[in-house]
Amino acid sequence: MENYFSSDFRLGVLGGGQLGRMLLTETQKYDIFTVILDGDQHAPCAEICNEFHQGSLMDYQTVYDFGKTVDVLTIEIEHVNIDALKKLEEEGLKIYPQPNVLEIIQHKGRQKDFFRNHNIPTADYTRHASAKQLGDMTEFPFVWKSAQFGYDGTGVKVIRSAEDLQGLPDVDSITEDMIPFKNELAVIVARNEKGEIKTYPVVEMEFHPTANQVEYVLCPARIDNAVAEKARDIALHVSDALGIVGLLAVEMFQTKDDEILVNEVAPRTHNSGHYSIEASYTSQFEQHLRSILNMPLGNTDNKVAGIMVNLVGEEGYSGDVVYEGMDDILHISGVTPHIYGKKHTRPFRKMGHVTIVNQDLDEARRVAEMVKKTIRVVAK
């Protein structure tokens, strides 16, 4: 194994948001020198990484020049300049996940085509080069998704009538059939360069009804073992088809007939795996580090049941952030808040999360509801 620890080795990360911030906890544990590139000088990673560079992740020269300063390059967001990564890879830089994988995943049209071409079950869809092509749609409802740059509920809209088509951005997009489903599930798969592969337990996601953001992640999911095994098998199939090194989060629907359809994937640590910091033997962030540096993968089992509650900005509040109710939730056993270091809040902005652990999942869910009602992200 290469000497990554307390050495001259430099790990580069494209993106300095909250995922990068939580990854830094693991790099600091191993004393791995970490270099971050982000467009925001006040990014959550900026003050706590070893070295910070400010610059656009989509600019060829910026990404290329940054890559020349590190020994291994990874990401915490997939919206990066692929051409620069391909050039760096040609010149011998190890980049995980690989540029060809990122190129597929960062565009929802290419991602869905990949599923179809590799017999990965997914909802029927149509690709559209512009919003003008949507005017012929007559069967409602359906889901509209921007092909690129959607995140945290943006770039996704349920279209229930022709009126809902008004105001959509004129961008490359896909439309998908609405799937009647019992549950939204996710599985995180880890793979290192040697081909060692592990899956985390299936998690269940509960979404905010209007913001299209995850409110709760429950692990383990409250589903039959046969359904859980099917979900893990499909997630492994997706990871194997992509040949990805690193983490892959596979989001899925469990249909009314207990079939599993892949919704979309993310080639990185993911909101659905935050529970693992407290509840798992190996957190997703440590596992990401192990996988991209070709270390042995860690144990993915749960020590206890875990539930993650997202902390997002309250509606009606924008400005310098204030966390109300923090003392109250800290009195509760098994509750751990994570604050992402964002100084300014706005409605539905992800500002942190809270993990609730308990031997009993139902009790953890009860506490999660209490936490959700108690803590508020507001502004001065």
The answer on whether 358 is annotated among ligand-binding residues is: no
The answer on whether 145 is annotated among ligand-binding residues is: yes
CA dist 70 and 62 (Å) reads: 13
Is residue 279 within 8 A of residue 219, CB to CB? The reply is yes
Q: Within 13 Å of residue 271, how many CA atoms lie on the same side as its CB?
A: 25
The answer on whether 204 is annotated among ligand-binding residues is: no
Comparing CA positions, the residue from 69, 68, 63 lying closest to residue 50 is 69
The answer on whether 78 is annotated among ligand-binding residues is: no
CA dist 72 and 193 (Å) reads: 13
The answer on whether 179 is annotated among ligand-binding residues is: yes
Tokens 């040609």 belong to residue: 90
Q: How far is CA 369 from CA 79, 83, 93, 273, in A?
A: 33, 45, 46, 19
CA dist 258 and 266 (Å) reads: 23
Q: How far is CA 95 from CA 1, 64, 90, 244, in A?
A: 17, 12, 10, 11
Question: Residue 192 is which amino acid?
Answer: N
Question: Residue 114 is which amino acid?
Answer: F
Is residue 16 within 8 A of residue 41, CB to CB? The reply is no
The answer on whether 184 is annotated among ligand-binding residues is: yes
The answer on whether 177 is annotated among ligand-binding residues is: yes
Tokens 């409605």 belong to residue: 347
For the beta carbon of residue 200, count every other beta carbon within 10 angstroms: 27
- Which of 61-66's residues contact partners 24+ apart within 8 Å by CB, and which partners? 62/37, 63/14, 63/37, 63/88, 64/88, 66/12, 66/14, 66/35, 66/37
Q: Which residues contribute to the annotated binding site? A: 108, 145, 176-179, 184, 263-264
Q: Which residues contribute to the annotated binding site for ATP? A: 108, 145, 176-179, 184, 263-264
